[in-house]
Structure 1
């Protein structure tokens, strides 16, 4: 669990790379510059930890590309104290970014193996989500709704209705929608039944799996 000067230097280079790609939110850039991404990956991938690429982790999942994490997080417009729902805890890297921004994070993971690893690992780094849940992300987390923002970190073939229903008025859902290639989509809740939808280019994610356990 070492974080050396070399790692810190590589992180600053990574911040420069994603800044050059158009990320402007200073809080998001600071979080990326602070979180030891190499600790979220298998030690054999250490050299790759600060490249702007996705990499495999346990349970046939991936740790998202830092630019993608930054892009989604910037779209959420997280403020300190915001109640945020994350669908797909994965390695916990995105969770850590949200914690750095001061959000109250509720996160759902449906891969039991990953859930066990990440729920033990995050607190060791000092990142404490309000709740890490093993369950079906398609259903959201009704008992904790409404949320100021919801982020989906896997490709969804469609937009799950429960997630839209669990947004606060003014809340933002950031979700990659599509089968093989996804379109990053933002929904802003304008009223009880009114949503404003904006699309932002194509991304590639592992698929969002329904609860098959």
Structure 2
């Protein structure tokens, strides 16, 4: 199946069965997330992977969608609440080690990134959350490629999620969540509905 066919197959499943997504497929989706584009490659977010039914049930009480507890795996995209100089130093060391280049050769790059450490907190929070959303898009496509259903969700109590998962202590805040599983065609009235999208020439504005 080509990419467009795969994306036509994909939709936000409203109800999910109890079938589990294999560890191999979950790992592949996570690997795709790890390869997603992010600003300067800094990846200012983490992905909390939850399959424990008890934890999902606690989170269900702080959300508005049954897919939270019905999912095989729930991914919580948690973005940075701040960027410290230590974050920058660690990233620069990673670049140098990965590419086998002197860390000193990255001084100019490091200086630019160090600006994040002095940015207002609200700016950093918004920037980091947008990076998490880019990763969410990659996850949606990766899951569809594996014929794994997914549902992106913003309908949850961020503060409650942060408390249940202990995110504040990690310098993180929940940005968006993604349920992974398999559609329940009997319970989901949209499972066989035709995808509704505006015409491409209405969506796009071409400047020649």
Which band: TM-score by shorter chain? under 0.3
Looking at secondary structure, tell me which structure has more helix per residue.
2
Give the structure-1-normalised TM-score.
Answer: 0.21
Greater strand fraction, Structure 1 or Structure 2: 1
Q: So what's the TM-score if we normalise by structure 2? A: 0.22
Largest Rg, 1 or 2: 2
Looking at both structures, which has the greater relative contact order when contacts are Cα pairs under 8 Å and sequence separation is at least 6? Answer: 2
